[in-house]
Chain A
Amino acid sequence: MFPKGTKRKFSDSGDEPAAGGEDVNQPSSVAVRMLSSYSLQRQSLLDMSLIKLQLCHMLVEPNLCRSVLIANTVRQIQEEMTQDGTWQIMTQALSAANAAAQCSADRLVATEVLCRQTEATQGEQVLKPFPAVGSEGCPAEEEEEVVVEEEGEGGVTMSTVSPQAPTSYLPGTFGMDPCWEEENGEDEEEDEDSEECGSGSEEGDSDRLVGDSRTAEQVFGTFEIKNPAPSPDPALEELFSDVDASYYDLDTVLTGMQSAPKMGPYDLLESLSSHGPSTLSSSTSCRSDLNELDHIMEIIVGS
């Protein structure tokens, strides 16, 4: 299915378009290129590989050999696409993509935690496309942390649950905020690039883009939001910025209680409060959770 020794179609076609931004307005030329079957196949292989890299098993460590082989395949494709010039076309076309599509391009690992952490942290989240528009470096591979600050913009270091989890290979753009909640464009945590999060224009662009470019759809269609983050109140986010999100997960709390049977229900309240002075008093939802916890604790303890 991948032609052996045949001249690739891309090298036959004409010059690259003059400027990346114009691609959006010349859908037909982009579409024609992209529709050549070799590129389609290559693209689908790329998508498949990215999905495979993202699917890491939460409870059992992912297979390092498999991850390395898939990552090498991805890099191979990317290298070839860079040589073709396809890579530049794709990333430039996607640079106008809406922030929502980018936000959704997230790893399955620790989505909840990720949402809160990136909200609370300074600087933009830079979802680095692999390796590199403009960068010579090797792609970030299976790793303890996603090192994302390639452009020196003070990115976010997201620690993952699994140390072997591969880093994100999502095509994305530099300088774009994730804008987890599109409605609240003004987020006091975020700084200079927040204006790029303006939802109105982004959505318009994205609609046009998704309709025009199959690649965008191909790539982003598969990266749907798995756990859509509800649009959190930025004030709340600030308060909970240093709270371990896992405490809000009932399962984790219960697991924690089962492994530390000596802790009574009031100890739990105390430990929760120790994570942030304003935790208990600031949210009614938190209080109802605690009531639930009390109830469940009673069942467990059997009182």
Chain B
Amino acid sequence: MAGAGGGGNDVQWCFSQVKGAIDDDVAEADIISTVEFNHSGELLATGDKGGRVVIFQQELESKNQPQCRGEYNVYSTFQSHEPEFDYLKSLEIEEKINKIRWLPQKNAAQFLLSTNDKTIKLWKISERDKRPEGYNLKEEDGRYRDPTTVTTLRVPVFQPMDLMVEASPRRVFANAHTYHINSISVNSDCETYLSADDLRINLWNLEITDRSFNIVDIKPVNMEELTEVITAAEFHPNQCNTFVYSSSKGTIRLCDMRASALCDQHSKLFEEPEDPSNRSFFSEIISSISDVKFSHSGRYMMTRDYLSVKIWDLNMESRPVETYQVHEYLRSKLCSLYENDCIFDKFECCWNGNDSVVMTGSYNNFFRMFDRGYRQDVTLEASRESSKPRSVLKPRKVCTGGKRKKDEISVDSLDFNKKILHTAWHPQDNIIAVATTNNLYIFQDKL
């Protein structure tokens, strides 16, 4: 079979880089919890369970090898969130970074929002490659000169220095969420953003930290009646008044902030009727949506539930326009997956730059791409074995029953501890970042 899916049937994916420790003994703090390219694709940010953010920067393409895209190297590392203790409830607040979202760049500095379960922070990442030298009153090392020795005046001059990247917290948005924050999304107006927890969505102004507006509240008066929670939320990429949020019952609600201040009444409700032949006790759990992403165009949105990826046309609420099965072979294993809690894994999904291909992760360090135009899909693996520079990734196949062909892997041999939950696609190029438990793989198409 020629080529693999992804932007046409002639795209082949090659290994580019892998970041992170090699040894199999994974430190809990190193577990990657979020991956995000910035708007130009030059920067790639990861957050981990230890509350750290690592930003990689793409090197400029070298003139010697115009065919190769630049490599991503560490640009900045900082501790975004620390573990906290809620004394009132006697509970720890995890420092794990749940989401990172970049702000569009407006000046020389870069800004990103990072959040843990309770607090969102706005970080400024700026470069410093010059420093003033030649002060009148201070020595070069900062000590003050003896005033009596100062006999002349001079103007300090900026001299080049080694590049230093500084990350500083500019805003801390705290104390607005009782439940665990699962999503943040920057509005297209670049002034506001939303944060969503299990039961509420708040709207913030990026400049104001002591106030936020509650725009969705699904908390029942009596918590005993709670049957549904919010699982993800996102602003529309172009319409600053529109956002969507998904629920644990498999529904997506689109809300218009112009309609009312509190958007409990949705403008549109997207829900696919249940297939009665597939009904089981696990139907609701596997219908729970773990991620929702608008296409870049804003015309479509994609949702990820446990077994499938669905593309919705915003103009049609009754059913998705496309459905892709990620790992249908797991449907007969749902009871075991419920027992070992894998059924609750929250997989993310992403679009490529021109909305023609979507990608999502699976188990055994597999990830899947679905080409919407060519109706092709491919399964690839992120592993150290296929990590030779520029080696082409071989498509993988899971054998569901009967004879196992060579190079196929049977369902029972899948490693459910190796899960790819977080993936990201470069906004313009065919470069993807795939996070295994503690490693970040970067693949690009063969040029």
The stretch from A15-23, A134-142, A269-277 touching chain B is A134-142
**Beta-carbon contact of A73 and B281 below 8 Å:** yes
* Highest count of chain B CB atoms <10 Å: which of A59, A65, A140, A161: A65
**Beta-carbon contact of B225 and A141 below 8 Å:** yes
A216 and B428 alpha carbons, distance in the complex (Å):
61
Given known A4-B279, A68-B228, A68-B248, contact A61–B91 (CB-CB < 8 A): yes
**Beta-carbon contact of A162 and B229 below 8 Å:** no
**Beta-carbon contact of B223 and A73 below 8 Å:** no
In-complex Cβ contact of A141 among B226, B279, B341 (8 A): B226
B residues less than 8 Å from A143 (CB atoms): 223-224
A residues less than 8 Å from B117 (CB atoms): 61
**Beta-carbon contact of B280 and A4 below 8 Å:** yes
Which residue from chain B places its CB closest to the CB of A73 in the assembled complex?
Answer: B281
Q: Does B64 contact A (CB under 8 A)?
A: no
Chain B interface main SS type: loop
Q: Does A34 contact B (CB under 8 A)?
A: no
B residues less than 8 Å from A48 (CB atoms): 338-339
**Beta-carbon contact of B344 and A77 below 8 Å:** no
A197 and B229 alpha carbons, distance in the complex (Å):
42
Which residue from chain A places its CB closest to the CB of B87 in the assembled complex?
Answer: A259
A206 and B159 alpha carbons, distance in the complex (Å):
86
Give the number of chain B interface residues (Cβ < 8 Å).
Answer: 35
In-complex Cβ contact of A69 among B199, B276, B344 (8 A): B344
Q: Does B89 contact A (CB under 8 A)?
A: yes
Kindly count the residue-residue contacts between A and B in the assembled complex, taking CB atoms under 8 Å apart. 84
A166 and B335 alpha carbons, distance in the complex (Å):
22
A147 and B344 alpha carbons, distance in the complex (Å):
28
The stretch from B7-15, B282-290, B321-329, B404-412 touching chain A is B282-290
Chain A interface main SS type: loop
Measured between C-beta atoms, what is the minimum distance from A137 to chain B in Å?
A: 8
Q: Does B67 contact A (CB under 8 A)?
A: no
Q: Does B180 contact A (CB under 8 A)?
A: yes
* Highest count of chain B CB atoms <10 Å: which of A63, A66, A69, A147: A69
B residues less than 8 Å from A144 (CB atoms): 223
A73 and B279 alpha carbons, distance in the complex (Å):
13
A2 and B281 alpha carbons, distance in the complex (Å):
8
A residues less than 8 Å from B179 (CB atoms): 64
**Beta-carbon contact of B224 and A147 below 8 Å:** yes
Which residue from chain B places its CB closest to the CB of A48 in the assembled complex?
Answer: B339
Contact with A along B275-302 (1 / 0, CB 8 A): 0111111101100100000000000000
Q: Does A32 contact B (CB under 8 A)?
A: no
B residues less than 8 Å from A45 (CB atoms): 281, 335, 338
A287 and B282 alpha carbons, distance in the complex (Å):
54
**Beta-carbon contact of B224 and A69 below 8 Å:** no
**Beta-carbon contact of B223 and A142 below 8 Å:** yes
Which residue from chain B places its CB closest to the CB of A76 in the assembled complex?
Answer: B281
**Beta-carbon contact of B180 and A64 below 8 Å:** yes
A residues less than 8 Å from B279 (CB atoms): 4
Q: Does A163 contact B (CB under 8 A)?
A: yes
Measured between C-beta atoms, what is the minimum distance from A75 to chain B in Å?
A: 8
Q: Does B90 contact A (CB under 8 A)?
A: yes
Which residue from chain B places its CB closest to the CB of A161 in the assembled complex?
Answer: B90
A263 and B83 alpha carbons, distance in the complex (Å):
26
A71 and B198 alpha carbons, distance in the complex (Å):
15
Q: A69-B285, A73-B282, A73-B285 are in contact. List 8 more A-B contacts (CB 8 A).
A: A42-B281, A60-B92, A65-B231, A69-B284, A72-B284, A138-B224, A143-B224, A147-B224
Please list the residues of chain B having a beta carbon within 8 angstroms of any beta carbon in chain A.
89-92, 94, 117, 179-180, 198-199, 223-229, 231, 248, 276-282, 284-285, 288, 332, 335, 338-339, 341, 344
Q: Nearest 3 CB-CB pairs, A to B?
A: A64-B198, A2-B280, A140-B224
